[in-house]
Amino acid sequence: MAKNYDVVIVGAGPAGIFASLELCDAGLDVLLLDKGREIDARVCPVQNRSGCCALCSPCHLVSGFGGAGAFSDGKLTLSTQVGGRLKELVGSEQAQALIDHVDSIYLKFGAPRKVYGIGGNVAKLEREAASAGLTLTPVKLRHLGTELCHETLKAMQDYLSAKLDIRLRTTINNIMVDDGALKAVETSDGERLGCRYLILAPGREGAEWLCNEAARLNLGLDSNPVDVGCRVEVSMTTMQKLTSTLYESKLEFYSRSFNDRVRTFCMCPGGEVIMESTGGSDPVITVNGIGYARPRTENTNFAILVSTTFTEPFHEPIAYGKYLARLANILSGGVLVQRLGDLMDGRRSTQARLQNNPIEPSLKSATPGDLSFALPYRYLKSLVEMLQAIDRLTPGVASPQTLLYGIEVKFYSSRLKLTPCLETELVNVFAAGDGAGVSRGLVQASASGIVAAREILKRSGKGSSQTT
């Protein structure tokens, strides 16, 4: 017999967790679902080894309690300017209030007090960036590191497990609607879980599934720009001018050749480059980065992403990103790595050149090769121009020894049409987080879960609970 709930939340990443925290003391029957594992059981079988990605299904690095953010370096970006479009949906004042509330909850569960991105040196860095043709957006930021991020999310999992139902290793296949009204969600085992309210927060890993369900249910979708690029690895001292003050540098640039928007993303001082399997039922191997509370390498890695907006009739940004990632997979068996000097000279990198390179690759399983076989010229040209601009701000970034790993793709490239309370065109069905195109980071994803939960509390006559 089908179990019925007041609220079902699909996805136990930041959006789903913070929706749960908002709802857990309101007297509602709540179920939090995720296809991945408990946070302590999320162990990559090949991380820190030289083997290629094992293509676990689902990937332990992107699925499970905590979402993909559990294995990021836990950067809490406390600004409405970056990390999503919450400001656009709820207004600047409300967005900042939500971010402040999210910050207070992370602090209660163990986040550190130290804040980066403040102080007199920030304005100086802004001026220097502008002189290099870059826009630096300084933001207040807390850094947990992968270790403390894990501990903080584990504390949240323990707190919630006593207050609501959590079902992990459970895949949702369909949203069940009858005559335009929400009825239930159906698992891959055919079990029907009835609900009055539904929050869809499947994260980037579930973005394609969400798009497919939206199309099946005739829900409106808008395409975000396609974000494709590579992961850059340099010596930690090269970036210290920026990272010591900002930790993460939000740099933006418009390429001279194509006027495409190019930006830095996910900067990891002292961190490691990793590979992950993403893309749902048809996975590809992509590259990412993690960082730690204490440096584990002598390198800093960060992504450079090129945002491209296509014209009609293009409407499959996720498919396009997967196609490019698959090219790199075909060439390398996983992830390609190339010295910038080799790319500029029009030759592939070799194992011998990497062994003699002053910067030691932190991703040992990356295959030396040529990124120009996987990334279109337009992307490569914009990436190189961005590196040269950053080099004017902090010399050494565009040295021949700099390592480029490819490719990095962000699968949040479609977004549902949502109301300010994040309700879809289906009544009582809400969408939140990165997978819905609402956010692009931990804090705004968390805040979006709260927005949806508060509307449910209002409709159910429960008011807004306070997380303790």
Structural domains in the chain, CATH included, are 3-73+79-114+144-222+415-459 (3.50.50.60), 225-410 (no CATH)
Long-range contacts of 131-134 (CB under 8 A, 24+ apart): 131/392, 132/389, 132/390, 132/392, 132/393, 133/253, 133/389, 133/392, 134/251, 134/252, 134/253, 134/389, 134/390, 134/393
Tokens, residue 159: 């707190």
For residue 362 the two structure tokens come to 């932190």
What is the 8-class DSSP label of residue 419?
-
Q: Answer whether 413's CB lies under 8 Å from 225's CB.
A: yes
3-class DSSP assignment, residue 254: strand
The one-digit pLDDT tens for each residue of the chain (468 residues) are 568 999 999 999 999 999 999 999 999 999 999 998 888 878 777 765 556 676 777 877 778 888 877 666 789 999 999 889 999 999 999 999 999 999 999 999 999 999 999 887 999 999 999 999 999 999 999 999 888 888 999 999 999 999 999 999 999 999 999 988 999 999 999 999 999 999 999 988 888 889 889 989 999 887 667 789 999 999 999 999 999 999 999 999 999 999 999 999 999 999 999 988 876 667 899 999 988 888 889 999 999 999 887 766 777 777 888 899 999 999 999 999 999 999 999 999 999 999 999 999 999 999 999 999 999 999 999 999 999 999 999 999 999 999 999 999 886 556 789 999 999 999 999 999 988 889 988 999 999 999 999 999 999 998 754 444
**Using CA atoms, how far apart are residues 275 and 25, in angstroms rounded to an integer?**
38
- Nearest CA to 250 among 113, 141, 149, 375? 141
Cβ within 8 Å of residue 444, ≥6 positions away: 77, 83, 84, 86, 95, 99, 438
Q: How many whole angstroms separate alpha carbon 197 and alpha carbon 202?
A: 16
pLDDT at site 416: 86
pLDDT for res 14: 95
At position 204, the amino acid (one-letter code) is R
- pTM over cut 0.85: yes
Beta strand pairing status for 226-235 and 403-410? antiparallel
Is 435 in contact with 202 (CB distance < 8 Å)? yes
CA distance 439 to 15: 9
What is the Cα Rg of the chain in Å?
21
**Residue 134: its pLDDT value, please?**
98
Helical packing angle, 377-393 and 121-131, nearest 10°: 130
Half-sphere exposure of 272 (CA within 13 A, CB side): 19
Cis ω on the peptide bond leading into residue 330 (within 30° of 0)? no
pLDDT of residue 321: 86
Is the Cα dihedral 409, 95, 250, 293 positive or negative? negative
Three-state SS at 200: strand
Q: What count of other Cβ atoms lies within 10 Å of the Cβ of residue 34?
A: 31
Identify which of 145, 13, 16 has the alpha carbon closest to the alpha carbon of residue 67. 13
- Would you state the pLDDT for residue 467? 46
| Per-residue DSSP letter, 170 | -
Amino acid, res. 396: G
